[in-house]
Amino acid sequence: MILLKFNKTDNFCFISHIDTLRHFQRIFRRAGIDVRFSNGFNPHMLIYFSSPLPLGLTSFAEYVTVCTDMKAKDFLPLYNKNCPDGLKGIAAVDVEENPNLQFRVVAAKYDFFTPLEKKERYIANYVKKGESVTEDVTEKVFEVGEHTAILASGAVNLRPERFATACCGATITEIVKTKQYILNGDKLADVDEFYHLNENALS
């Protein structure tokens, strides 16, 4: 089993999760990477993604777990030869079992193109299903820097463009996801560090 870290950039930030999934299946076929299939009536490739991105958001830290016997060091170059530019692989490691990131990730770090204003409380104003919503999102904000913020991601989630309405006004195309975190004890742990992805990244 392999944990792959990849980008979702350029045009691909406009591509939905379901279309991304189809892309991955085709990349693996092109690359001749033998991915295991489910045994059901409609067999599908066994691949597991971290949480879907909202449309328009660019990310340098997406993850997918791939059920294959291939080793990460062989996998990454083959993957990169066969993927579209917007889905380039950054790092890959061999893992014993599915890290289940979709359910374990609790926070993510974002870069904002416009400076962030530090506040006591963050009040977001956004439109949801045609209705204006005002929400105090302070509880979902972990850390705010000059241009970066760590926000809740996963089951408890704060969309960065909604956070931006509270303190900087950046639109979704002016935000980039850069890191995802899981809990290690009661501390946030960068997925890359936890799974030694940095040591296995492409230079």
Partner 1 sequence: MHFVDLKKLKEILLTVEKPSRYLGGEFNTPDMTKKARAKFCFCFPDVYEIGMSNLGLQILYDIINSQSDFIAERCYAPWTDLGEKLKQNDIPLFSLETKTALSDFDVVGFSLQFELLYTNILYMLDLAKIPFRASDRGEEYPLIIAGGPCAVNPEPFKDFFDLIVIGEGEEVDLEILKLKAKAKEEGWTKSELLKKCAMLTGVYCPALHKEGEIVKKAIVADFENSPYPTSLLVPNINIVHDRAVMELYRGCASGCRFCQAGFYYRPIRERSAKRIASLAEKIIDSTGYEELSLCSLSTGDYSHLKELIGYLKKMSDEKHVDLSLPSLRLNSFEGDIVQNSRRSSLTFAPEAGTQRLRDVINKNITDADIDNIEMAFDAGYTSVKLYFMMGLPTETYADLDGIADICLRLKELFRKKERSRSLTLSVSCSVFVPKPCTPFQWAEQISIEEMLSRQRYLKEKLRRIKGVKFSWHGAETSCLEGAFARGDGSLCSVIETAYLKGCRFDSWSEHFNWEKWTEAFAENGVAVDKFAKAIDLGSPLPWDFIDTGVPKEYFKKEYLKAMEQKTTCNCREKCNGCGASKLGRCTIL
Binding site for partner 1 (CB under 8 A): 10-12, 14-16, 18-19, 22-23, 25-31, 37, 41, 55-56, 82-86, 171-173
Q: Smaller CB distance to partner 1: residue 81 or 119?
A: 81
CB of 95 to partner 1, least distance (A): 24
Cα separation, 153 vs 76, whole angstroms: 27
Q: Smaller CB distance to partner 1: residue 25 or 134?
A: 25
Say which amino acid occupies 170.
A
CB of 43 to partner 1, least distance (A): 8
CB of 34 to partner 1, least distance (A): 10
Using an 8 Å Cβ cutoff, are 140 and 151 in contact? yes
Q: Smaller CB distance to partner 1: residue 43 or 115?
A: 43
CA-nearest of 75, 27, 144, 193 to 158 is 144
DSSP type of residue 164: H
Q: Smaller CB distance to partner 1: residue 12 or 163?
A: 12
CB of 192 to partner 1, least distance (A): 26
Cα separation, 166 vs 138, whole angstroms: 10
Say which amino acid occupies 157.
N
CA 23 vs. chain centroid, Å, equals 16
Helix (H, G, I), strand (E, B) or coil at 20: helix
CB of 103 to partner 1, least distance (A): 27
**Count of H-run helices and E-run strands, the chain:** 5, 11
